[in-house]
Every structure is written in C-alpha cells, then in structure tokens.
Amino acid sequence: MWKKITLLVLILAALQTAWGQSPRRWNSGDIHDAIVKLNFLGSALYVAAHPDDENTRLISYLANDVKANVAYLSLTRGDGGQNLVGPEIEELLGVIRTQELLAARRIDGGRQFFSRANDFGFSKHPDETLQIWNRDEVLSDVVWAIRRWQPDIIINRFDHRSPGRTHGHHTASGMLSHEAFELSADPKAYPAQLQYVKPWQPKRLFFNTSWWFFGSREKFEQADKSAMVAIDAGVYYPVKGKSNPEIAAESRSMHKSQGFGSIGTRGQEMEYLELLKGDMPAVKTDLFAGINTTWSRVEGGADIGILLEEVARNFNHNDPSASLTGLLKVYRMIKALPDGYWRNTKLEETKNIIKACAGLFLEAIASDYSATPGETISLAVEAISRCNTPITLKSVSYLPMQADSVLSLNMEENTGYKWSKLLKLPQDMPYSNAYWLNTPWPLGMYNVADQTLRGLPETPRVFKVRFTMIINGEPIDYEVEVTYKREDSVKGEVYRPFELRLPFSPTWRKKYTCLPTKNRKPYRWCSSRAKLTPPAQFRFGCHRAGKPNHRNKPSHSN
C-alpha cells in the first residue's frame, strides 16, 4: 500500500513539475507582433470534441498571421482516450490532456476552453452521445463559450450532417455548434447566463473540411468549392524563423499522451472552409473580409487605431522602451472607453505589452511548493526594470490576505530589488484542485455549479502578488501568481505551481476506500489517492466505504 502511495506522490509531483511554466520572456519580435495585434479587433472560435481534434495549423495561422484572438473549444478533456506516457486513465488522464492542450496553445497563440462533457469512450452515433452527455447542458456550455468569447467567426472541425459516419462525439460537436450559432443571440436562451455575459451573434459559421471528409484526394479535387474559402496556411514568419506549419507541428507535439509528435513542414498548405451560415466573404482568401475588425467598431475607438499604426510603424527593435510614451497614451484611451469585451480584452493586452517594453520582471517565489491553509510561508519577491523610463513601485499587495507594503520605490534602470515576506495563509484558503472533479459526476457529464468556472481550463489561482506601478506617470497594476522555483543540476531553473494541500493524515485510510466490483480489483490508485488529497473535494472515482461508486460504472482492473 505505501509503495503505491509513494509512487502516486512521485507521479503527481512529476506532473506538476512538467507543467510548471517559467515567466514568458518577450523578444522585440514578440512585442512588435503584439502591437500589430492590438490593432486587429476580430475573434474566432474553433470547435471540436477532444484534445488533438483541433487544427493547430489553422489556429496558429489565425493567431500569428491574421492577428485574431482565437480560441479552441474542446467539448471534452479527453478523459476516455489512451495514455502513452503513464498509467493515468479516465479523470486523471483528463487532467493530463488539459495541460497538454494548454501547452499547445502557448505555442500556437490560441486560448483554450472546455464544456462539462465527459469523454466516455467511443460512441457510434451522436444520438447516443447527446443522451449520455445531457444534450441541453452541453449546448448551454457552447452558448456560454460563444457569449463569453464573442467570436466573429466559428469554425467546426467536424461535419454536423454526417451522423453515424464517424465518432459520435465528433458529429455532436458540429451539431451543437451549428445550433448554438443563432441560439447565443437569443436572450430567452439560458437567461441565467446573462447576469455575466450578453447575447452575441457571430457573423459566420464554417466547416473546416478537407479531402479526408470526401474519401480521397481525387474526389476532393473534383468537388464543388464555390461555397468554400481557401487559405494558404503555409506562410513563413521571418521574425520567428519558422513557417506556420512548423509552429503547428510543435503545438501538436504537445499531445504527448496521444503519441502525436509531429515533424514540421514548409511550403504551401491549403485549408478549406465551407460556409454553413452567414454571408460569404467577398474575398475568398480572407475569413474576416467584410467584418469590421478596426477600432471603429468600438464607440470612441477610431483614434486608438490611428495611434497604434504610428506606434507600430516607428517601433525600434533595439529599444522597445521608445514605444512606451505612445503605448501609455493608448492605455489611457482604452481605459476611458465604455465597459465592453474589446475594451477589457485590449486593455489587458496593452498592459502586458507595456510591461514587456519596459523590461519589467516581477516574480514571487514561495519557499516550498505547497502549504496548508493557516500555515506561515516565506515569499521571495523580485522586481526589476530594464529601461530608462521613470518607474515607481508604489506598493505591493499580497492576495488574498490583503496584506500591503507601501514602498514608493523609484526603480533605477537594471537594478534588481529583492525582499522576503512572511505570510500566514488564511484558514479558508481554497485547496488547489481540478474544479470539475470537486463533486460526484454521472457518466458523461461533470457537475460544475459555478457558472463562472464553466469552460475554464483550470481552477483560477488566488495566491498572488499585486505590484502597483507608476510608469511615466500612469498607474498600472500587475498581478503575479505565486510559484515555486528550484535549481536542478540537469534542467537548471525549474518552476512548479504553488499548491494548497490538506495535511496528510493516515486516519483517512479508515474512512475512505474504494470497493471492488464483481470479478474486479479496486479502482487503480483510488485508495491511495483518497489519502493524499482532501476527501471532500477530490473524489476521483472514490467513495465512502459501503456506498456505491458515484459514477455508476465498473472500476478498472490493474
């Protein structure tokens, strides 16, 4: 038993270390691309069923070439798939594949969303899929994603008109997206969502088709393409030194549990998108043709676009800080706009670009990778500015404790400021967890009561440090998540997310167990898992002794 516990600890520790991300270091090419993107107000939502279904080549093209805000909505977390890299299956595999998708998006430039649908394995027909998933609830999640992301265009990976011809999950994803296209604009549909979002009507819905859906390349060559938009996604980015397909291959290679390591290609790569709803673009090589993607789509925003063109044109790759004056003016202009999706989205993007131009490095490192609520920990905090623009570190706040330190520190160029802070964590501080596993769930659907959590890839982290800066007279706040960092003799600098955990107690063994079903062994890792995580919040297929398995399906054997 203790060998299993030790092995599980090592597995979980390895996962956390693997997904721990170092702070992003922007080069001048990244900064210039981000400034150009500030001047494009268009968004796209790619919809499919599982991790690895997404077309990373198209997502990368939209993010890096078009400069659109693009997201992938995967209806499931891949919980029913295979695992090439370890023994984890079902919900633990879903946690792994969630992180693989996030790693992919960090490479191709997209964002990541999910529904509450559970990948229960292969389904022969969408009718079966939608019955097990709870059709109305998953449809509400698709509507929620559209209203929250406000895409101008939606792109389906799978054809909604082909029930029974492919995986039921695949066809169901197309059917639900097709229905949600108009439903998201109807205020009578899922009205409870409207306390957080507004109805939204996308402009166009496409099906990302290819020769595969026609049975052969020959048949696709002969097919009528008058209702299709054709895009060459094989573009080359000199600043990055990579072609778009090479970036897409790096992104797809993050699906390690599926064994999808890919080799990048170079040269022309055509993508075809069949128009399903909305108007056909006047230019059949531009998905956004005819859609206003300038700042004039926002009331009072036209002058922002003019100023951003000037900032991008005069950008100095050897001295990005020279753009701070213009960017701070853009920041003030955006902040003065009425509250809305593009105002809030571009305001956050502008803050990050200003931080990069100023060479600001802000970090908060915990003395250990985990703690328990009520425990006192030490933080090592660092702040440095690497530009000659006047910057004052006015104050530092430690969240969620609301502990503040007033500094009014005038930061000298390229001079690091470091200090330590002892903090007692609140007793009611929430545990680090996968929010969709907090409560028991039936086959096919996770239970997430909090509407604001639905769709998020991870549980938002609450332990942060807020740096209140005054940059050339403009006050700007930056929040940094507390992390853990160590020096590894092989890997060098290794980051790991900081976690709130329940103290280990051997008494859990007496209260929690996992019952074997007939002719089956107990669920793999289940008994040890219950003793390493908060039993009330982390069930992972476990249950109190004497009560039936809450998912109502047999446990897996070793």
DSSP per position, 223-276: S--TTEEEEE---EETTTTEEHHHHHHHHHTT-GGGT-------S--EEEEEEE
Lowest average pLDDT, out of 351-365, 406-420, 454-468, 510-524, goes to: 510-524
Is 110 in the same domain as 166?
yes
Dist CA 356 CA 26 (whole Å): 6
Q: Do residues 347 and 367 share a domain?
A: no
**Given pLDDT bands bounded at 50, 70 and 90, which one contains residue 203?**
very high
- Together in a domain, 348 and 491: no
Tell me the residue type at 452: T
Is 485 found in the same domain as 381?
yes
Helix, coil or strand: residue 110: coil
Domain containing residue 176: CATH number: 3.40.50.10320
Q: Are 410 and 306 within one domain?
A: no
What is the model's pLDDT at position 19? 53
Mean pLDDT of the chain: 88
Residue 340 is encoded by which pair of tokens?
């809305």
Based on the fold, state whether residues 227 and 322 are members of the same structural domain. Answer: no
Contact 330, 350 (CB under 8 A): yes
Is a pLDDT exceeding 80 seen at residue 530? no
**What pLDDT band is residue 553 in, cutting at 50, 70 and 90?**
very low
How confident is residue 381, by pLDDT bands cut at 50, 70 and 90? very high
Report the alpha-carbon distance of residue 272 to residue 432 in Å, rounded. Answer: 42
pLDDT tens profile 84-126: 999 999 999 999 999 999 999 999 999 999 999 999 999 999 9
Contacts of 60 (CB under 8 A, 6+ apart): 107, 108, 109, 110, 233, 244, 247, 248, 251
* Residues forming a β-bridge with 370: 499
Helix axes 2-19, 90-108, angle to 10 degrees: 20
User: What length does the chain have?
Assistant: 558
Q: Which domain does 200 fall in, by range?
A: 42-293
CATH number where 482 lies: 2.60.40
CB neighbours of residue 49 within 10 Å: 29
Kindly state whether residues 380 and 270 are assigned to the same domain.
no
Give the pLDDT of residue 20.
Answer: 61
DSSP character string of 397-454:
EEETTTEEEEEEEEPPTT--EEEEEEEEPPTTPPPP--GGGSS---TTB-----TTTT
| Span 363-387, average pLDDT | 96
349 in the same domain as 226: no
Q: Place 187 in a pLDDT band, splitting at 50, 70 and 90.
A: very high
Cα separation, 165 vs 29, in Å, equals 45
Whole-number percent of the chain with pLDDT over 70: 87
Average pLDDT over residues 428-457: 95
User: In which element (H, E) is residue 371 found?
Assistant: strand 370-371
Rounded distance between C-alpha atoms, residue 446 and residue 427, angstroms: 28
- Kindly give, in sequence order, each residue whose CB lies less than 8 Å from that of residue 25, ignoring residues fewer than 6 positions away: none
505 confidence band (pLDDT: 50, 70, 90): low
Are both 146 and 208 inside the same structural domain? yes
pLDDT tens per residue, range 9-24: 444 444 554 456 788 8
What percent of the chain has a predicted confidence (pLDDT) above 90? 79
Q: At residue 495, does pLDDT exceed 60?
A: yes
Q: Is residue 51 part of a domain?
A: yes
Domain endpoint, select from 312, 338, 357: 357
Are 352 and 377 contained in the same domain? no
Rounded to a whole number of angstroms, the CA Rg of the chain reads 25
3-state SS, residue 62:
helix
Question: What are the pLDDT digits (tens) for 239-295?
Answer: 999 999 999 999 999 999 988 888 888 999 999 999 999 999 999 999 999 999 999
- Domain total for the chain? 3
Give residue for tokens 């050897």.
318
CA 7/CA 17 separation, integer angstroms: 15
Of the candidates 86, 87, 175, which has an alpha carbon nearest to the alpha carbon of residue 127? 175
| Residues 236 and 322 placed together within one structural domain of the fold | no
Instruction: State residue 517's pLDDT score.
Output: 37
pLDDT reported for residue 82: 87
Identify the pLDDT of residue 504. Answer: 67
Backbone angles phi, psi at 276, to 5 degrees: -105, -40
- Asked whether 264 and 243 are in contact (CB, 8 A), the reply is yes
